[in-house]
Amino acid sequence: MARRLPRNQLLLQRTAQLLVLALAALMVSCGGSSSSSSATSTPVSNIKQRVFVSNFAKGRIEIINGSNDQPTLFTITTGTGPTTLMEVLNKEITIVYNSSEHSIGSVSNTTETQAGTASLTSDATSLAVASDGNTAYASLPDSICAGDPLTGALVVVNLGTSAITNCLEFQDIQKVVLSHNNSRLLAFTTNSVYFIATGNLAAGSVLIADPAGLLDHPVDAVFSDDDSTAYVLSCGRECGGTSASVTTLDLGTRTLGTRVPVAAARVALLSAPTLFVAGTDPVTGGSVQAVNVSNMTAGAPFTITDGVHDRIALASNNQLFIGARACSNTVRGCLSMFDISAHTTTYSLPNPATTGDDVTGIEPIPNRNVVYVCEGGNLRIYDTGTHLLTGSQIDIVGRAVDVRALF
């Protein structure tokens, strides 16, 4: 016959069993396991509507709640000096250019970590990334392809393996622009444009012939929605030439077509059928102009701030945000907010505490009347209805350079 334990010993035994179960449950809830591994995963923000801001001074990406403009304690460690942020189509990764170490990083939007880094041989003046996030193209004016005598290179980077897979020689290359379908690439040097078929890199590049002299210091291009045409921007007098213009480039035949003179052309945005073109003429100042690409006619130019324009975005309430670097910064800042319906321009105010308010990043927040702007190293949030700073400003400790919404 089994011997029964005394009541007090039975209570102690049951208490010990409950304690073991409680400790096991605590280990599971904290990510613990019975294995010998003690590694823990990096905490993630779990914010559905995130905004990433590259912080050059801190070597990280700040994560902001884009639904209510609230900062978080979550950050993503990158390489040194992160600047440009680029989205991919499925929004599974974000590409970051770490300028101080000349590297391209792939950030997993799921784990909120930099998963891989591809090192470049010198500073990239521009980047283009395929929509699937697998391939990047970088213009390196100070690098040399192996075996080539001239300085200047277009490198192709496999972001999955973090390896440079191709190098094409381009003396004084400054800009690369990729089509929406990733099949066509345009490379810009001081006064020439080259066509590259990305599916046949071994064939090299094709110089766009300009026997009629239609181009004058071409600096950028915007692809049509169907990728059949590129609208080439000639910087003209702003870049030491004669006159600015927009010229059509048939990508099937690789021939130039209609040229439309404009007041200035450094950056553009296509909202079909209108191409908004902005730039600075050294005599007449900054301007924005609408070009109807269906019949290639230009409307009247409207005044905006001066400087080197390389940021443009269309936000809610028909507001076109145009950013510049090296503006005069005396009575107005480097940000122009142009109402495309009323044809009026509102400017940001210069910051008296800084020597410059360069605009380095612009991102309209989806389904809201606010725009995040990286201006003078600060993150500023503007209301598209009032053109004023909102009541929910965020102090980025460091230097904010670029911004992307991951909605």
Range in 34-43, 119-128, 293-302 the model is least confident about: 34-43
For residues 168 and 147, give the distance between their C-alpha atoms in angstroms, rounded to a whole number.
11
Query: Which position has the higher pLDDT, 98 or 351?
Result: 98
- pLDDT for 307-341, tens place per residue? 999 999 999 999 999 999 999 877 889 999 999 99
Mean pLDDT of 344-361: 82
Query: Percent of the chain scored above 90 by pLDDT?
Result: 84
What are the sequence ranges of the domains in the chain?
Answer: 120-206
Cis bond leading into 273, ω under 30°? yes
Task: Report the pLDDT value the prediction gives residue 246, as an integer from 0 to 100.
Answer: 98
Burial string for 342-354 (b: 16+ CB within 10 Å, else e) reads eeebebbebbeee
Q: What are phi and psi of 310, to 5 degrees?
A: -145, 15
The residues pairing with 55 across neighbouring beta strands, listed in sequence order, are: 60, 400
Burial string for 36-58 (b: 16+ CB within 10 Å, else e) reads eeeeeeeeeeebebbbbbbbbeb
3-state secondary structure of 334: coil
Which of the residue ranges 16-30, 37-51, 308-322 has the most confident prediction, judged by mean pLDDT? Answer: 308-322
Residue of 266, 150, 178 whose CA lies nearest to 216: 266
Residues 228, 270 contacting (CB under 8 angstroms): no
Mean pLDDT of the chain: 90
**CA angle (165, 180, 278) in 5-degree steps:** 110
One-letter identity of residue 312: I
One-letter identity of residue 200: N
Model-level pTM?
0.89
The two three-digit tokens of residue 151, written as one number: 């300085």
H/E element, 338: strand 335-339
Residues 378, 400 contacting (CB under 8 angstroms): yes
Examine the pLDDT at 370 and tell me if it is beyond 80.
yes
CATH for 120-206, options being 1.10.150, 1.10.3210, 2.40.10, 3.40.710: 2.40.10
Please report which residue ranges of 134-263 form alpha helices under DSSP H: none
Residues 98, 105 contacting (CB under 8 angstroms): yes
For residues 280 and 301, give the distance between their C-alpha atoms in angstroms, rounded to a whole number.
11
Residues 331, 306 contacting (CB under 8 angstroms): no
Residue of 101, 97, 148 whose CA lies nearest to 126: 97
Residue of 312, 320, 404, 310 whose CA lies nearest to 366: 404
